[in-house]
Structure 1
């Protein structure tokens, strides 16, 4: 009798373990696994195990709040279901082999504070739905094959501290809407196909420490960007940048 009760208790505990996240969130994680060749990841997931045991997944209060799968050999596309992970605050898929476009459903992640998709082979444009990420502080999309322009909707990212789009094929002008992002400390746009003028108003960004725009098709001139009492000197011809390292 005691053995039966013990077995039932174990089953109950196991059931609770699997109930740690919603059905939608677990389904989204499984969709990610399937669409990025999960069986070949460096650190793979045992889909029969509790979600809290899956590598790189952090759960708090029964919600998936972080996914960190950097350097993990993800190959394939990001599924639209990624947008069902609505409690995410941190998402890092940097340094993998993700292809295809950034799904528009990324805009559903309204609690996101860090988004790192850098050093993959993503194509297409930055989705306008990114405007929904008003809590985003870090946006790293560098070293991909992204095209199109910097979306004007970027102005909605009022909490943004770092914007890195380095080493893509992004064209057009640096949008005037970037002036709304007064919390920016780093703007890294080097090695793209940007044209036109660098907005002079960036000179007055009080927190800006690093601004890299070398290797574009911008009007070439020396610009002094003021970082409080510490100027960052930018040479758009040679691409050299002196940054405040405090």
Structure 2
């Protein structure tokens, strides 16, 4: 055998006989990775993926020229907290499918300012998605893949500045199987270069954000969350969309109809679409009631209760007479946000009770046009300002 590693298969050297590449993926290699690898200070590419290498990963501090680190699909069991320290040239990292002891993404990664791809699916990561995933730290990042880990908390606002083309954060759970990634997905509306969004099997709540600017979006997987509110109509018109999965949320309003070019999964599941046939509009009373929830953030309790296409059929807080809504009583429902002027579309309402919530803002002037309104109770909220209701015959309880 040749003692000069520059002549070894799967090893490449530069003109000064310094090792710059080690590429031994899928070679049936076992054993552990020696800490002396950090002495190969000119190494640019280290590919050991799809082998059976085990034990802890050593620190790689000396590898300041390393651009590609591919360790996925091995048996590594520990990643040290200082693992990324000194790896200032890193562009691509693949750590997927290793049985690491639980770890959080360390601050040391921030030094890799040229990072484009960070992939660590099924790598036993816990903690929050770091705030340093932003355009100041990683101006070139295009792929962030962290599926099937134990990440918790919400999506950091800094994500919105990244030029991401794919974002995989699906399936974040704790040891008991509870979903640990939550909050809203509002940040997506600023990620206008995204082609793939995988946020399925999490605990996200609130409405679907405005994705109309995501003209390159091909795959949108939001199934198995607790998203509420209507599916925005523009979604079916996104030019690049090929796959959309919204099954098993708490979505409301009409079931959207997607063109034949889009593979769509919209099984009703726990969704609250008014009708089970795509493309049919809801009853006007249903549309009006769902629209008044918008400034309140489409609370989950309403999505879970206001089902079907007849608000007079046991909808929470709704009383009817001969098919006309006469009373809306949303007292003490934990509502925050402002009062929608769209209440005015419900012209048959005689009594509107919004007391004992956390509502802010003013009473919309539009409510003064409700012809049958006799009682308006907005007491025990945080409203302010003058209201044209004061010049109206309706008694207002503040």
Normalised TM-score (structure 1):
0.73
Is the 1:221–1:236 contact (alpha carbons within 8 Å) kept by the matching residues of 2? no
| Distance across 1 between alignment mates of 2:4 and 2:69 | 25
1:198 shift after superposition: 1.3
| Alignment partner of 1:92 is 2:47 | yes
Q: How does 1:1-12 map to 2 (within 5 A)?
A: none
Partner of 1:218: 181
Q: How does 1:86-235 map to 2 (within 5 A)?
A: 86-104=41-59, 106-146=60-100, 147-179=102-134, 180-205=137-162, 207-216=163-172, 217-219=180-182, 221-223=184-186, 224=188, 226-228=190-192, 233-235=197-199
| Distance across 1 between alignment mates of 2:57 and 2:219 | 30
1:170 shift after superposition: 1.1
Secondary structure of residue in 1 paired with 2:167? strand
Higher helix share: 1
Is the 1:221–1:235 contact (alpha carbons within 8 Å) kept by the matching residues of 2? no
| Alignment partner of 1:68 is 2:31 | no
Structure having the higher Rg: 2
1:237 shift after superposition: 3.2
Is the 1:225–1:231 contact (alpha carbons within 8 Å) kept by the matching residues of 2? no
1:124 shift after superposition: 1.5
1:225 shift after superposition: 5.2
Distance 1:98 1:229, change over 3 A: closer
RMSD: 2.5
Find 2:13's aligned residue among 44, 59, 77.
59
Secondary structure of residue in 1 paired with 2:220? coil
* Aligned residue pair count: 197
Secondary structure of residue in 2 paired with 1:194? strand
1:191 shift after superposition: 0.5
| Distance across 1 between alignment mates of 2:30 and 2:127 | 30
1:230 shift after superposition: 5.2
| Distance across 2 between alignment mates of 1:123 and 1:129 | 13
Distance 1:201 1:74, change over 3 A: same
Q: Which has the higher contact order (CA 8 A, sep 6+)?
A: 1
- Stretches of structure 2 that go unaligned for 5 or more consecutive residues are 173-179, 204-217, 222-239, 242-398
Normalised TM-score (structure 2):
0.46
| Distance across 2 between alignment mates of 1:74 and 1:131 | 26
- Stretches of structure 1 that go unaligned for 5 or more consecutive residues are 1-45
| Distance across 2 between alignment mates of 1:234 and 1:192 | 13
